[in-house]
Structure 1
Amino acid sequence: MKKNYAFLSLIISIFTLLAACSNKTTTSDENKKNPTDSKTTELTMAFLAFGPPPKDLELVQNEINKLTKEKINTTVKLLPINASQYTQQTNLMLSSKEKLDLLITGNIPGFLDYSGQAVKGQLYPLENLIEKYGKGISSALGSKYIGSSKIGGKTYGIPTVRDLAGDRSLIMRKDLVDKYNIDIAKIKSLDDVEAVLKTIKENEPNVYPLMPGQVGAATLVDGVSLPEGDPLGDNLGVLLDSSKLEVSNYYESNEYTDLLKVARKWYKEGYILPGASTNKDSAESLMKAKKIFSFIQSSKPGIETQVSKNVGFEVVSVPLTPVSTNTQKVTGFMWAVPQFAQYPEKSVQLLNLLYSDKDLVNLIDWGIEGKHYVKTDNGIIDYPAGVDANTTGYALNSGFQFGNQFLSYVWKGDSPDIWKEMELFNKNAKASKALGFLFDSSPVKTEVAAVTNVINQFKGAIENGMVDPKTELPKFQERLKAAGIDKIVKEKQMQLDKWAKVN
């Protein structure tokens, strides 16, 4: 969120919401032209919602439309769709060609299927439009990331500007770290982590030392796998070393075997939350209730402040893996234009504002100044007097998906330099040699489905140490081979070699 499975489980476990669809529109290519200057165009924009729609959504939308009408003679219909229904509803809209001009997509296995949408011809190629209307987009992303989403040499998706890199960190309750004089600066390896978990186990009988990930579907292996590698999107054929374009079966690697041994030992010692792989509570909710000491989290600048705010008390963190970036991290969240969009030029013009216009970014991120937030003397923003997280009328809290997050105001509690820190974080991350490669799984879709079923059967138990890997790993590997994992690895290597010749 591996981590991708955890993140999927997180977003599909939160609130359920039915989102309305717009009327259908023509798909004729003859109609794909810029409207005359005198005609105001309305664009429907679908994005992820992680709760009920804000009650002031229409008020904010009206303010957005004042700005977009003045700048590009366009109005916007905001269409938040709950994360639990987003995949199903946007797939329905794409297949039925309902009115839709922009949508969030990405590469998160089992959730956002940018590659599949592009291969099926559902998305509009954007190179020419970005060149003509997207100077702000190109400037915000830079050359390192602007071409990372190409499929068949064409760009169908534009990554959002956010944390485009990451590491995995151990998040710990500071009260217990202080209580037992744990020197977090000395935590450098899994052996060091084990010593800390042992301290908690021996002294805090009512606290479980570790939940492996943010949600129950996560495993210990997910949390610390491939520190020097690249999952190549789905872990079905990986780079164990991201500086070499050599695809291998991760489930047969020494690294995987070694991590299973650690998981088994920690489980038997009682360090891992019982039933972790089926637990339905988030790590943050369990930590807030003081039932766990720590969990493993995908990390970035400001993560301690973010988690502390969510759990209600201070936490500290230590990195467990190096900071790295790969195609999956960069293309996790992107904007795309449906192939049937009536005015793709206007869609890209609107996107260009989301990557370059600070007023628009902060309207959609935070709402209306004075009503939903106020600026403090140092430029940091906070709730107005008498308003809080429970009473505000607008709190999407998902600036990561709205274009250029670096243009967003900084909320009280975050570092005033959070976006400079994030930019440096991205810049200094170790980039996979396969950055920009996207696997087309359609030639092996039968094998992918079969292998995924096998993984789902074994993953939770074996990767959280609930079963003995000495007996279960050979069974797991045998079943994977029978399902066709070798064919998937071979196909991925072939596509990667072909990609490397061009890139």
Structure 2
Amino acid sequence: MKKALVLILAFAMLLVVAAGCTQPSTSAPTSGPTAKPSGSETTKAAEPAKKIVYMYPATSGIPVELEKVNRAISDYTIGKINVDPTLSPIEIANYNTQAMLMITGNEDLDVMESMPGGPAHFTAMIANNQIKDLTELGPQYAPGIAKAVDAVNPGFMAGMTVGGRVYGYPALFDKVTNYYISLRKDVLDKHNLDLTKIKNGADLEAIVKVLAENESIPVLTAQTVDGDVLTAGTLIVNYDNFADNIIVDFFGSNVAMYGAVMGEDNTKVINYYESDLFKEQVEMTRRWYEAGYINRDAATQTETSVQIIAANGALGTLGAGEMGVETNYNNRTGKEMVTVKIADGIVNSGIVQKFVWTIPMTCDEDEAALKFLELTYTDEELVNMINYGIKGEHYVLDDQDRICLPEGVTLQNNPYNVNASFLFGSQYLAKVWETDRADLRAVVKELNKNVAVAPLMGFSVNTVPISDEIGQLRNVMDQYRPGLVAGSSDPAVALPEFLARLEAAGIGTVIAEVQSQVDAFVANR
């Protein structure tokens, strides 16, 4: 349909030119001035703008003034690259489902971000032939993206490659992902509790117990919609001693779909759900759930923790985050939180593949889609519009060039409250909040340039030979895993059933295939 519209518009333009008319110039962007276009740019602006749909998960709801900001962004990008994007945020709880419906229904969708898990995960979409091979298309239309990624860490692009082909670009945020506990400051102060002194799970439980016994709101809820309360997706926490890291690589799956390798120098692939560690952690979660520490609906929650905390549905959460997460929690919940790191992470393929920008098979405007995506990695003005809206209306800057809210605007009533700069292109182009250190982006970038990576960094599972088994395993995991990791299922009953169903669904076949791929990767490294 988009191609047909372009042809009609092109024909109409020919008639206009034949009649001796000229086209009006493109209007200036709402968010700021632009330079006078050169002759070649004027010719380009006379062509109809290419329309694309740009889809991403909404982690704080859909902004009230999305359409207004979208118009400002369109004005800006039409002037820069003659591309007119439609921003299409989808509530994160519905994102996997909606993405699959759009792709299978061949709807208008040109640029989309992958999810940390589920059918919209990066490797799952590769296996299902739902996203395009960008090995040639990327350098042809958007060479600036790979350059921007390599400028942070050349190793990150290795996680975008499967079978020697490139299928996407990582969202550039702090990949040094650690594990944090975040609780409301007012309740901690009320009971004279010091979260900063915790060293292990027993210390944390002592604090949670006091809050559970004295507050009417559940203490903890899952960070995202996958049910994980004390477990951490691609990170594993040592609750015996937070300082003692557990090295693990789940090959990009936040639900251990492809097995796992545990240990610094190990390459043996195991079924993580059969491990003593998983059993111990779900037993601990169950005990906390029965003690009343955990939101009873954590396994089935359809909102993220920040939304639940903002609505007084929980006092806090445990989960993965990056440097500056303290400000992020404060801004997104609208409450003052105390956030403390309890475990260090390691950069592996799973972290790099957490959020990946891709071009779905539904795209029929490859050049326009990639050029717009390239701007999100190279153009500071665009990145800040997507993240913060229109300057002077949705945000202002302080004397250190940091983001502040205009007078009368709060986090609760801000009509363009996105607060997810980690999602869009390069976060290193996004301005920081007034509560952040002014040099935060530079510090984080330097940290990522020198970060240690996992031994199997760059390895990605080729899921084509095991696609049938993965589909069956996903159904089993959807049924059993959320209840186990949220504490609502009794592991004495549910865990043996879960393991038996995984075996029947073919997890042994998957692990054998992944092991052969790991062995080949190590041999050829």
User: Shorter-normalised TM-score: what interval?
Assistant: 0.7 to 0.9
Q: Which residue of 2 aligns with 1:228?
A: 247
Looking at structure 2, the residues matched to 478 and 56 of structure 1 have their Cα atoms a distance apart, in angstroms, of: 47
Q: Which residue of 1 aligns with 2:336?
A: 314
Q: Which 5+ residue runs of structure 2 have no aligned equivalent?
A: 6-40, 238-245
Q: Which residue of 2 aligns with 1:47?
A: 55
For the 8 Å contact 1:107–1:115, the answer to whether it is kept is: no
Looking at structure 1, the residues matched to 360 and 226 of structure 2 have their Cα atoms a distance apart, in angstroms, of: 34
**Secondary structure, counterpart of 1:235 in structure 2:** coil
Looking at structure 1, the residues matched to 104 and 218 of structure 2 have their Cα atoms a distance apart, in angstroms, of: 46
* 220 and 436 in structure 1: CA distance in 2 versus 1, 3 angstrom threshold: same
Alignment of 1:114 onto 2:122: yes
TM score, norm. by length of structure 2: 0.77
**Secondary structure, counterpart of 1:221 in structure 2:** coil
Counting only pairs closer than 5 Å after superposition, residues 450-489 of structure 1 correspond to structure 2 as 450-466=472-488, 469-470=491-492, 472-489=494-511
RMSD (Å) for aligned C-alpha atoms: 3.4
**Secondary structure, counterpart of 2:86 in structure 1:** strand
* 95 and 469 in structure 1: CA distance in 2 versus 1, 3 angstrom threshold: closer
Between 193-202 and 405-414, report the one with greater CA deviation.
193-202
Question: Given the alignment, which residue of 197, 201, 209 partners 2:208?
Answer: 197
* 284 and 338 in structure 1: CA distance in 2 versus 1, 3 angstrom threshold: closer
Counting only pairs closer than 5 Å after superposition, residues 267-278 of structure 1 correspond to structure 2 as 267-278=289-300
Deviation at 1:296, TM superposition (A): 0.9
Counting only pairs closer than 5 Å after superposition, residues 385-424 of structure 1 correspond to structure 2 as 385-389=407-411, 394-424=416-446
Q: Which residue of 2 aligns with 1:251?
A: 273
Alignment of 1:333 onto 2:355: yes
Deviation at 1:81, TM superposition (A): 4.2
Question: Given the alignment, which residue of 198, 210, 218 partners 2:220?
Answer: 210
Looking at structure 1, the residues matched to 461 and 389 of structure 2 have their Cα atoms a distance apart, in angstroms, of: 38
For the 8 Å contact 2:131–2:358, the answer to whether it is kept is: yes
The amino acid across from 1:294 in the alignment is: G
* 392 and 469 in structure 1: CA distance in 2 versus 1, 3 angstrom threshold: closer
Looking at structure 1, the residues matched to 314 and 479 of structure 2 have their Cα atoms a distance apart, in angstroms, of: 26
Q: Which residue of 1 aligns with 2:146?
A: 138
Between 455-464 and 475-484, report the one with greater CA deviation.
455-464
Between 396-405 and 252-261, report the one with greater CA deviation.
396-405
For the 8 Å contact 1:46–1:80, the answer to whether it is kept is: yes
Question: Given the alignment, which residue of 454, 458, 471 partners 1:449?
Answer: 471
**Secondary structure, counterpart of 2:179 in structure 1:** strand
Q: Which residue of 2 aligns with 1:355?
A: 377
Deviation at 1:502, TM superposition (A): 4.3
CA offsets, 1:38-85, max 9 Å, x none? Answer: 74551403212534465463x54454445444544x222224142355
* 273 and 393 in structure 1: CA distance in 2 versus 1, 3 angstrom threshold: closer
Looking at structure 1, the residues matched to 117 and 308 of structure 2 have their Cα atoms a distance apart, in angstroms, of: 26
Between 275-284 and 229-238, report the one with greater CA deviation.
275-284
Looking at structure 1, the residues matched to 341 and 351 of structure 2 have their Cα atoms a distance apart, in angstroms, of: 17
Looking at structure 2, the residues matched to 169 and 43 of structure 1 have their Cα atoms a distance apart, in angstroms, of: 41
Q: Which residue of 1 aligns with 2:284?
A: 262
Between 350-359 and 339-348, report the one with greater CA deviation.
339-348
The amino acid across from 2:465 in the alignment is: P
CA offsets, 1:140-168, max 9 Å, x none? Answer: 21212123211221112111211323122
Alignment of 1:173 onto 2:192: no
Q: Which residue of 2 aligns with 1:23?
A: 2
Looking at structure 2, the residues matched to 328 and 154 of structure 1 have their Cα atoms a distance apart, in angstroms, of: 18
For the 8 Å contact 1:216–1:281, the answer to whether it is kept is: no
Deviation at 1:298, TM superposition (A): 1.8
Looking at structure 1, the residues matched to 95 and 222 of structure 2 have their Cα atoms a distance apart, in angstroms, of: 27
CA offsets, 1:65-124, max 9 Å, x none? Answer: 45444544x222224142355545544554565554x41232532252433443454433
CA offsets, 1:233-274, max 9 Å, x none? Answer: 140311222543221001111211221332243344443344
Deviation at 1:439, TM superposition (A): 2.2
CA offsets, 1:260-306, max 9 Å, x none? Answer: 33224334444334454345665445544656443212222222222
Between 214-223 and 444-453, report the one with greater CA deviation.
214-223
Between 193-202 and 281-290, report the one with greater CA deviation.
281-290
* Identical pairs, percent: 29
Looking at structure 2, the residues matched to 96 and 434 of structure 1 have their Cα atoms a distance apart, in angstroms, of: 36
For the 8 Å contact 1:165–1:330, the answer to whether it is kept is: no
**Secondary structure, counterpart of 2:392 in structure 1:** coil
CA offsets, 1:442-497, max 9 Å, x none? Answer: 43333333333333443344444455544543343233222321111111212233
For the 8 Å contact 2:175–2:347, the answer to whether it is kept is: yes
The amino acid across from 1:210 in the alignment is: L
**Secondary structure, counterpart of 1:435 in structure 2:** coil
Q: Which 5+ residue runs of structure 1 have no aligned equivalent?
A: 1-21, 27-34
* 502 and 65 in structure 1: CA distance in 2 versus 1, 3 angstrom threshold: farther
**Secondary structure, counterpart of 1:434 in structure 2:** coil
For the 8 Å contact 1:104–1:333, the answer to whether it is kept is: no
Between 261-270 and 303-312, report the one with greater CA deviation.
261-270
For the 8 Å contact 1:53–1:80, the answer to whether it is kept is: no
For the 8 Å contact 1:366–1:396, the answer to whether it is kept is: yes
CA offsets, 1:283-338, max 9 Å, x none? Answer: 44554465644321222222222222333432112223212222222222222234
**Secondary structure, counterpart of 1:44 in structure 2:** strand
The amino acid across from 2:351 in the alignment is: K
Looking at structure 1, the residues matched to 371 and 176 of structure 2 have their Cα atoms a distance apart, in angstroms, of: 27
For the 8 Å contact 1:225–1:256, the answer to whether it is kept is: no
The amino acid across from 1:416 in the alignment is: A
The amino acid across from 1:348 in the alignment is: L
**Secondary structure, counterpart of 2:288 in structure 1:** helix
Looking at structure 2, the residues matched to 342 and 484 of structure 1 have their Cα atoms a distance apart, in angstroms, of: 37
TM score, norm. by length of structure 1: 0.80
Looking at structure 2, the residues matched to 461 and 70 of structure 1 have their Cα atoms a distance apart, in angstroms, of: 50
